[in-house]
Amino acid sequence: MPELLRILMLEDTLTDAELNERELRKIGIPFTLQRVETQETFVRALDEFHPNIILSDCNLPDFSGMEALGIVGREHPEIPVIMVTGALADIDAVGLIHAGAKDYVLKDRLARLGPAVQRVLSMEQGVRARKVAEKLLRESEAKFRALVESTSDWIWEVDERGVYAYSSPQVYELLGYRAEEIVGKTAFDMMTPTGAEQVREKFFAILSERKPFRLLENSNLHKNGRIVFLETSGTPIFDAQGVFKGYRGIDRDISERKEAEKERHASAEILEQTLLQTIEAIAATVEARDPYTAGHQRRVANIASAIAREMTLSEHQIHGLYLAASIHDLGKIRVPAEILSKPGRLNPIEYELIKIHPQTGYDILKDIQFPWPIAQMVLQHHERQNGSGFPNGMKADQILIEAKILAVADVIEAMSSHRPYRAGLGVPAALDEIGKHRGVLYDTDVVDSCIAMYKNNKLILDPKSL
């Protein structure tokens, strides 16, 4: 109700107008009142005074209440009208209400005027509020509909069983089905058998938890038979009493992204294969100059990988270690061939030349962008826990775990295998060597894992090397 109520009174008798005003004062509502007697002044007041309510007599000399109702109904239907009249037959009262009057008050019962005004204003206020709410709701629905129909994503609702209760038209662009074909189905009706199997358990777990979920990938069959990958997100729906009613969500086509991922994966596999072939070529080059140790790097790679797996290193680390071990003696390519194939013991000068091979190998590999620290593994494979190794005298925590494993695998293979200047000493002697220097030259965990593998028959060497 406005702070100052504006009342337009159509009344030609001054005393009746004063009586009406006196009754209105009794209800305690502040108001301003304008009285008119003719059609002309009535129409002008409607446009200039902007009344909140109209009180109208039924019969005036040149104008009638029925005519006033007609004007208000056509020009200002939002303004309520109460008829204030003398004697009135029931049939006439019904006619006034049908013509648009909100109520009528007889002049000999003016005590009803104030309450009638309050009731009508209250009713009109409720009606206006409802109309505003309805208008806002229609506008909101229109905006939502426009948003839903303009987005390329598929908007949907499912009930508490996972059955579609609503589908936006975009499902046709994604899966080739009209919206009405989707209603009554479940998501699994459109999925591939494999996709449904992968998602079913996870989806019903989500449904039972009644929590929001995001980015659930699933493979679906288009109506024409092609596979479409969708990414699904949803949020639960509850009614006013908090009862779970289902989910509302969105599906987005990620087929292009999945195809791109597939292509990247294929490219990565090709790159990795090329990398392996390059590593193998380098290893073959080294072994071609040192026939007595042919296969040494490959066998070290196998032993190192087995130890790393026993120590539960990640598959990524194990793969990088295998590649590094496959070329760990790359630096020997710069060592004179006569030293590499010498049948007897090396003299101090020759041994110093051998000791530079880790640095040489590092220098060759350091600028190659591997996904693993292969150059560092090669550089460190002769370093020792107590700093007595070469080429840099690194100590325990400075040495990569992969290099520590490589060092032990190198010793195991070298001592077990035949050499020009001696027969193979065997695995037990090699294990005795690393056990004797456990924690001093070789990492404790690596040594323990290696010995445990031997005891459990998991340390298997190539018989050709023994």
Q: What is the CATH number of the domain that holds 194?
A: 3.30.450.20
Domain boundary among 83, 111, 141: 141
Residue 72 maps to a domain: yes
Residue 60 maps to a domain: yes
pLDDT digits (tens, 9 = 90+) for 333-363: 888 777 776 777 778 888 888 889 999 999 9
Could you tell me if 156 and 214 lie in one domain?
Answer: yes
Query: Measured between alpha carbons, how far apart are the two ends of the chain, in Å?
Result: 104
- Position 271 scores a pLDDT of 75
Residue 40 maps to a domain: yes
- Position 277 scores a pLDDT of 79
What is the largest distance, in Å, between two alpha-carbon atoms of the chain?
142
Could you tell me if 185 and 289 lie in one domain?
Answer: no
Residue 92 maps to a domain: yes
Could you tell me if 239 and 281 lie in one domain?
Answer: no
- Position 296 scores a pLDDT of 85
Could you tell me if 368 and 409 lie in one domain?
Answer: yes
Could you tell me if 115 and 73 lie in one domain?
Answer: yes
Which residues, in sequence order, are bridge partners of residue 442? 438
Instruction: Please give the tally of structural domains in the chain.
Output: 3
Residue 177 maps to a domain: yes
- Position 463 scores a pLDDT of 45
Determine if residue 180 is left, alpha or beta; phi over 0 gives left, psi from -120 to 50 gives alpha, anything else beta. alpha
CATH number of the domain within which 23 lies = 3.40.50.2300
Could you tell me if 16 and 135 lie in one domain?
Answer: yes
Residue 146 maps to a domain: no
Contacts of 358 (CB under 8 A, 6+ apart): 331, 378, 379, 380, 381, 382, 390, 391
pLDDT digits (tens, 9 = 90+) for 193-244: 888 888 888 888 887 888 898 888 899 999 999 999 999 999 999 998 999 9
- Position 466 scores a pLDDT of 41
Could you tell me if 182 and 245 lie in one domain?
Answer: yes
Domain boundary among 199, 234, 253: 253
Could you tell me if 315 and 424 lie in one domain?
Answer: yes
Could you tell me if 226 and 368 lie in one domain?
Answer: no
Half-sphere exposure in the Cβ direction for 119 (13 Å, CA): 10
Could you tell me if 169 and 48 lie in one domain?
Answer: no
Residue where the block lists tokens 């030293």: 339
Domain boundary among 186, 220, 253: 253
Residue 240 maps to a domain: yes
Q: How many residues does the chain have?
A: 466
Query: d(Cα 77, Cα 111) in Å, to the nearest integer?
Result: 27
Count CB-CB contacts under 10 A for residue 420.
11
- Position 6 scores a pLDDT of 92
- β-pairing, 213-221 vs 227-238, is antiparallel
Residue 310 maps to a domain: yes
CATH number of the domain within which 443 lies = 1.10.3210.10
Q: Pick from 333, 337, 343, 328: which is nearest to 375 by CA? A: 328
Segments of the chain scoring below 50 in pLDDT: 463-466
Residue where the block lists tokens 């924690």: 439
Q: Which domain covers residue 295, as residue numbers?
A: 260-465
Could you tell me if 36 and 132 lie in one domain?
Answer: yes
Could you tell me if 249 and 272 lie in one domain?
Answer: no
